[in-house]
Structure 1
């Protein structure tokens, strides 16, 4: 630790007095601390308090916590960079400027595509390797380069309670989970990725904090009862003192990009960012990121998870939009999933089987609409939501790359009772079809880690809460949720069991064994995409023909034809033009003149 003085500040506008507890004072749960030396903090303007001192005077590391109006125990810093003793323990000072970066010449991904036009790869650090650390993940970056990935999207790394979890219950939003290696490990990961031409996207959660270790309300009005979300009171984005809360969020986002060289952020469930301000938080964030990109001289991008089915999300702020670069499109997933698996329960009902007495739509017809108009629900009635949903897309002018399409995501797999990946639900040939459609379609494709080699490991919901009551509540809640869908309680994996996380770890040994052919298929599809799909894509240019009786589908896009047989019998497809050159195929396919004959689950790509 250097001997340079440091300044530590905290916003506590309602506090009458603030103290800082200094020294290495580990604690693992509330009310279990013996604070070290305490010193008063100085009050400043706007409800800010500060302390300055020499960190070298406090041992190898400067650990500290705050005492608000004399209340015990001391609380971690809301802007803590490091929580080595867990989310209830003291914070640790971390100097982000010490790391020696080697990416000074970094100006974007190796393909130059960034998010738009690139291939995104979603992974969870805790299950990507058996070790579950950022440093261990670095050892597999060459695999992603070989696959053809452009951008690596990490599920949330903000500090959360316990060793294992998905990360969506983070409570220290400025800290990197110590179990993953802490903040220095994230810097090493990003630097290594950039060295291989890979961009890094970080999943961040600003719509709520987790239930354990969330001390923000002890410091100030970070939450408001003006709005409510599925997690309770909303983050205070438009009420009294909301300016500082908005700065807390925007400062967090730009810090990841400036100090950790992150290229993009995926913003979780932005529809739950309740904000009635004249300028929505997302628009303000977009403008702030744009200014930072100009300052740093490299692209910086924002991806929204939105269920609103509205392209205002990705419309420029100058045109009245919210300014995101891209947004997730769950309708793509639902349409593909329904066509490939035949499942029609829950929200899949609208995508192929009809629901609650409403007119049935064939799954292939739904797929055709989604791939040519962006959304199924574009102002139409949603039986799942009980009303009209979404807005139409301007198919001739809208760049469809602003919509992310995928066959799997952490949500869609992990929210199943047994965490079955698509691999467990389909024969390989049918997964080949799904991959061909979305990887060669008009959307920006996203792969969920392990999908590319059809890993046999499930992706289960897991936690490691240390609070026994909370752990039991999560366990019972999971069982009750699926009991309503007919699952016996004893069949639902215990999210608190260590084995639940362990079962979800990717099985890398399969990559060069049973998963080798699937990996080659994905790699070849991505290579075709890179060669044939360049620049903006428009939904109006996509043509889909479907024979609902024979279960044949043909997608034409960017000079490519993807023809697949989703039926149970051999079927023929008569082309009106010369079929062109066979670029890639899976399963038995024969060509006689303009007639193609495909075995069940066969697919061919012509160009």
Structure 2
């Protein structure tokens, strides 16, 4: 592994605070303490352009800047806290002061994860980590085993998705800061829930970005959709890589995070002999040996490349899992009929069949939308390595009006879609509010202070929607109203239909936990009957067998069970108890030789033998 060096402000009670910063171009670097005590400390230059020094005056709560070349005063790139925002002083934090109570916690294996993605600012009325803690009993009751937090690194203002973060080591102050996040993780572990954190290593936000004042953090070799690429393989790249390695290790070690979701890794551009992601996994493996805990790295990518998750011995990077867009797109296009933009490559029943059997649909075949061949074969990769969903922050929030599936399909179809995700062999993920059919949208929002940047964001959002035939006017990302309109209502307690949907989700999740234990693709039979417009999905590895019949049409379908097995109905989504039209309770009833599937419905059968 390459250079590994601690950076930032490291406090210990017996010594004080050691400040370390990488600034290879600087001729002098000083720490300027502003509060509660004032001090100017000249740092000593060390190898590779690192500067370091010890202050006995600085401690937890101390505010400081780095001063470069006796004139340029900037926050710490590795700041652990920015209590007054992205342009103001950094704050010294004592990571050892928190009293953890999760000593007996062990991370959950991938096959046990049922992930719930949420945005801290819009999940609860408070919009804080403490607000999430209050609702953990509800998530536990639902059957969730892990929450996934959208990025919490410090961003400009109080409203942001988190992908405009500029201080990757600092926890957003308006969410509750470092201690607030630790309390949330501790509470999750005590409730038996794992915590996944979304981190961004492919770009940095624009406002408050002072990295170029310190050194060559960016390279002109490549460009990304967000501007110049981070420098992972050019001159001085060892130290940029170290910056992000240290960041990942901090979340896992100091915040007890169980898994990191690595945002858009296809934009981590690295042609070196050892890819950044492979080396990151090596550092995480080393941390596991030191702590005795197990950590999970999950990549987000749209390239359908198994190299990310294949073992190093097979030429891979060794990551645990990756998101799988093909699964989402196959479902979305089939149930909504949308074919604009990147959805043009999807929309046929055989796409859904293929993604259930082989994971990637585009597995080395030509993409009409991209005008090139895409992907590799993932058939041999275990199903647990793929995180799937029918909704997430990207697929909802990057629509012009942020509509959830609640607004796009019928109530009955919502139940069919839930079954496709939760009863698939893959690692399922829900997006906050989908379990009860939240009606508020999830929109894109920011709170920048730079007027030119605000206008650029507004313009950029409109251009993004050009490939889609969406009607209406995009809400203003800068408006607080846009943010508030994206907040969950948690209205299922007052809404019978929503409560029925939530209870249905609970039942599906319980079925997965008790019957579909560690399901695999190799134990799956799946085909689509065109004349019936019914998807047949049978898990043969469970004992007894489980058969799921998905009617995705708007007409009832008559199904003949021709295998002479002794089936019983475990669940009928059209049952009145789930808000459907069928009278009578179908749960655990005997299945007849001929079954009638109501329009847009799911029946789950279990073989009694």
TM-score (norm 2): 0.91
Alpha-carbon shift at residue 79 of structure 1 (Å): 0.7
The Cα shift of 1:532 comes to 1.5
Q: State how far apart, in whole Å, the 2-side matches of 1:555 and 1:469 are.
A: 52
| Structure 1 residues 437 and 446: alpha-carbon distance in aligned structure 2, compared to 1, 3 A threshold | same
Match of 2:577 in 1: none
Indicate the residue corresponding to 2:25 in structure 1.
Answer: 14
> How far does the alpha carbon of each residue in 1:309-368 deviate from its partner, in whole angstroms, 9 at most, with x for none?
12221112233211111100000000111121121111212212xxxxxxxxxx211111
The residue number in structure 2 matching 1:71 is 71
Match status 1:263 vs 2:258: yes
2:343 is matched with which residue? 348
Among residues 360, 367, 373, which one is paired with 1:382 in the alignment? Answer: 367
Contact 1:408 / 1:421 at 8 angstroms: preserved in 2?
A: yes
Paired residues for 1:542-581 under 5 Å: 542-557=524-539, 558=542, 559-577=545-563, 578=565, 580-581=567-568
Which of 23, 27, 45 pairs up with 1:43? 45
1:157 aligns with 2:144: no
Deviations 1:535-575 (A, max 9, x none): 3x432332222222332121112421111222222111112
Q: Distance in 1 between matches of 2:27 and 2:199?
A: 32
Q: Please name the residue that 1:359 is paired with.
A: none
Deviation at 1:22, TM superposition (A): 1.0
Q: How far does residue 3 in structure 1 lie from its aligned partner after superposition? A: 7.8
Q: Matched residues in 1 for 2:62 and 2:53: separation?
A: 13
Corresponding residue for 2:492? 510
Match of 1:527 among 506, 510, 519: 510
Say whether residues 1:424 and 2:424 are aligned partners. Answer: no
CA separation of 1:579 and 1:404: change in aligned 2, threshold 3 A: farther
Q: Please state whether the residue corresponding to 1:140 is helix, strand or coil.
A: helix
1:203 aligns with 2:198: yes
Superposed counterparts of 1:42-441, under 5 Å: 42-55=44-57, 61-72=61-72, 74-109=73-108, 114-352=109-347, 363-393=348-378, 395=379, 397-441=380-424
Q: Is the Cα contact below 8 Å between 1:373 and 1:540 reproduced in 2?
A: no
CA contact (8 A) 2:562 2:593 kept: yes
2:522 is equivalent to residue 540 of structure 1 = yes
CA deviation after TM superposition for structure 1 residue 36, in Å: 6.0
Q: Are the equivalent residues in 1 in contact too, given 2:133–2:184 (CA < 8 A)? A: yes
RMSD: 1.9
Corresponding pairs, count: 577
Q: Give how far 1:227 is off.
A: 2.2
Cα distance, 1:483 vs structure 2 = 5.2
Alpha-carbon distance in 2 for matches of 1:428, 1:203: 30
Q: 1:225 to 1:201 in 2, by over 3 A?
A: same
Tell which deviates more after alignment, 515-524 or 287-296: 287-296
What CA deviation, in whole Å up to 9, does each residue of 1:507-543 have, x standing for no partner?
A: 11334524211111111101000112223x4323322
SS of the residue corresponding to residue 21 of structure 2 reads strand
Task: Out of 477-486 and 307-316, give the one that drifted further.
Answer: 477-486
Deviation per CA, 1:218-271: give whole Å up to 9, x if none.
111111112222222211111111111111111110111111101000000011
State the distance in 1 between where 2:327 and 2:40 align: 56
Asked if 1:482 is matched to 2:465, the reply is yes
The CA distance in 1 between the partners of 2:464 and 2:485, in whole Å, is 21
Contact 2:341-2:467 at 8 Å conserved across structures: no
Report Cα offsets for 1:159-203 as digits up to 9, x if no partner. 011110000011001000111111111111100110100011110
Within 1, Cα distance between the matches of 2:40 and 2:231? 31
Q: Structure 1 residues 277-286 or 582-591, which shifts more? A: 582-591
CA contact (8 A) 2:182 2:255 kept: yes
Report the secondary structure of 1:23's partner residue: strand
Q: Distance in 1 between matches of 2:566 and 2:222?
A: 57
For residue 4 of structure 1, report the CA deviation from its aligned partner.
4.8
Once residues 427 and 205 of structure 1 are traced to their aligned partners in structure 2, the CA distance between those partners, rounded to angstroms, is: 35
Matched, 1:496 2:481: no
Q: State which of 419, 429, 433 in structure 2 corresponds to 1:446.
A: 429
Task: Give the 3-state SS of the residue equivalent to 2:112 in structure 1.
Answer: coil
- Cα offset, 1:290, TM superposition: 1.3
Q: Is the 8 A contact 2:555 2:600 kept in 1?
A: no
Q: Which runs of 5+ in 2 are unaligned?
A: 1-10, 575-580
Tell me how far apart the structure 1 counterparts of residues 561 and 319 of structure 2 sit (CA, whole Å). 40
Measured after TM superposition, the shift of residue 480 of structure 1 is 3.7
SS in 2 for 1:522: helix
Query: Aligned to 1:46, what secondary structure does the other structure show?
Result: helix
Gaps of 5+ in 1: 26-34, 353-362
Distance 2:157 2:313 in 1: 43
Cα distance in 1, alignment partners of residues 105 and 446 from structure 2: 36
Secondary structure, in 3 states, of the residue corresponding to 2:209?
A: coil
- Asked if the contact 1:315/1:324 (under 8 Å) is kept, the reply is yes
Q: What secondary structure, in the 3-state scheme, does the structure 1 residue paired with 2:567 have? A: coil
Conserved 8 A contact 2:41-2:55: no
